Structure 1
């Protein structure tokens, strides 16, 4: 059976990560996906700020190192975007064929955007075909990304000699990576806690119903500890991981700082859940799946579960993926590879 290889590339605040997937037959068929190669290279502070490439040359250098290290089979990549300058909104549009919809989209949504359609890259992810008061309608997710935030990633990728064949939304990649098997039959919240941003997706039976990007992540906690104690970021990161969330503030001065900053993030996540539940009565969230480097902060899962009154589990995008060809050991790091794997699934679907 013919196979296809796709590389998903995640440009994060702290590292660049790439996963080479091999698909046989239909990419989403259970057991049809294999993870062939995975690698990551750390980025220096400031190269990516607020989930947007700030120093393209620095990121390009890291990407060259990543390709040299992992020996990926192609330079074609799928890249993701997801920050405060990418708007995702649920809306209904008049039904029309896909090609016609793409042409008409700027005119259909221009009154709904806080930016000019000339400055935005637009996409519409249809989820339902419904009958409305004005006739047949398409319900789905409008994605509007400011051009320069996307171009910054593309410039960095092309500077490394790579070829971006597709630009996808990180939130949709997260959904494809995790909402498979049992999770595709439930209403779940997927929460990817990165260094500087947190992506939240509420999916009902595998269909995205709400997407939010929160401007906070694990790095914010580390920076707060470093500022409070007057120590370097590396030492602050170690302290954060050793103490976790829930330590008695009197035991260590950093404990209170960790709890305070983490509480702010958790409240933002919880408020997103509350907004969804208020907008979708009778379709309550059944559970929360967390991924990303920030999800590994000790005690965070229990904290989020207590605040949201929902069960929380660490996500594993590799649960039904063949890894026999993979040389890297990802034990304990499974949740960190969700975005690059989900980006690869975008082409294979």
Structure 2
């Protein structure tokens, strides 16, 4: 994988196939989530029309909005609201454009594993689906999923995704910075990273590593802060009220407090299982501990179920 995209489809496909066999999954149909720097999400207002007409008209509407040729992109549209325009109703929504190469590489890896991809969904929409539930449905929240190389930001207002950004930074960048600073292997750097955290006092021998962690994390947090400031300025009265952290790299000690200080917003760990009934016989304690890593997968499953 490179920055959220499959590079070696045979290797990834073989790994998925082995996982399927080891855990005895019976289903062969799967939903694929995509979300990296080669997926573009833009605000787009269109004349109100049936969705079939919207999709057929997109190639003629978006040539100036995306950084790739329309013929090289897969396009979709998510309506988020309707407003009155001078000539009638105007549909507000989000344009999603993914390069065909990105989607093709990911689906090919799944097919190598002997599985059948039935839906390709945007990972940010999956996050919105699983996290904007319960009390969050009454507010504007931001869901921040910190992955290995990509951090996904989804701003959701009363359950509807209103803004999506994919930032090219994540937990692996922090690990590599620690490895370089301490001259240690990556597996040891992963352990050291979690022991050092961000914003804490540290031993002199770890000072260089702590500085590198702060450098990487501060750049990521600043990008998140700028995203939320931009959203607030372009959506008066609908600023983000709370930030939820998910993703495998979201449990870096001190990250939540660092982000809260920078954004002046409450930040808490996302609990995607709060609104999910867990079957008997499942190791619920382990699931609870690791649920921050499951948010996108759960959201993809919810979308397929709907």
- Give TM-score scaled by structure 1 length: 0.84
Structure 1 or 2: more helix by fraction:
2
Q: Residue 95 of structure 1: CA displacement?
A: 1.4
Once the two structures are superposed, the pairs formed by residues 49-88 of structure 1 within 5 Å of their partners are 49-88=2-41
Mapped pair 1:217 → 2:170: yes
Partners of 1:184 and 1:336 in 2: CA distance: 22
Q: Residue 112 of structure 1: CA displacement?
A: 2.0
More displaced 10-residue stretch of structure 1: 339-348 or 141-150? 339-348
Q: Residue 82 of structure 1: CA displacement?
A: 0.3
Conserved 8 A contact 1:126-1:140: yes
Once the two structures are superposed, the pairs formed by residues 257-336 of structure 1 within 5 Å of their partners are 257-325=212-280, 327-328=282-283, 329-336=286-293
> Which residue does the alignment assign to 1:9?
none
> Which residue does the alignment assign to 1:189?
142
Partners of 1:91 and 1:314 in 2: CA distance: 31
Aligned residues: 302
Greater RCO between the two (CA within 8 Å, min separation 6)? 1
Conserved 8 A contact 2:273-2:288: no
Q: What SS does the corresponding residue of 1:323 show, helix, strand or coil?
A: coil
Mapped pair 1:255 → 2:217: no
Conserved 8 A contact 2:196-2:202: no
Partners of 2:224 and 2:178 in 1: CA distance: 21
Q: Deviations over 1:28-63 (max 9, x none)?
A: xxxxxxxxxxxxxxxxxxxx1100001111111110
Question: Any unmatched runs of 5+ in structure 2?
Answer: none
Mapped pair 1:347 → 2:304: yes
Q: Residue 250 of structure 1: CA displacement?
A: 6.1
Conserved 8 A contact 1:249-1:256: no
Partners of 2:249 and 2:93 in 1: CA distance: 29
Q: What SS does the corresponding residue of 1:202 show, helix, strand or coil?
A: strand
Structure 1 or 2: more strand by fraction:
1
Q: Deviations over 1:273-319 (max 9, x none)?
A: 11111111221211100000111001100110011100000001111
Q: Deviations over 1:138-192 (max 9, x none)?
A: 1000000000011010010000000000000000001011111111111101100
Q: What SS does the corresponding residue of 1:53 show, helix, strand or coil?
A: coil
Q: What SS does the corresponding residue of 2:275 show, helix, strand or coil?
A: coil
* Match of residue 100, structure 1, among 31, 53, 60: 53
Conserved 8 A contact 2:144-2:246: yes
Question: Any unmatched runs of 5+ in structure 1?
Answer: 1-47
Any runs of at least 4 consecutive aligned residues in structure 1 with deviations exceeding 6 A, and if so which? none
Q: What SS does the corresponding residue of 1:142 show, helix, strand or coil?
A: strand
Q: Structure 1 pair 326/346, CA: closer, same or farther in 2 (3 Å)?
A: farther
Q: Residue 219 of structure 1: CA displacement?
A: 0.5
What do you get for the CA RMSD once the two structures are aligned?
Answer: 1.2
- Give TM-score scaled by structure 2 length: 0.96
Q: What SS does the corresponding residue of 1:175 show, helix, strand or coil?
A: helix
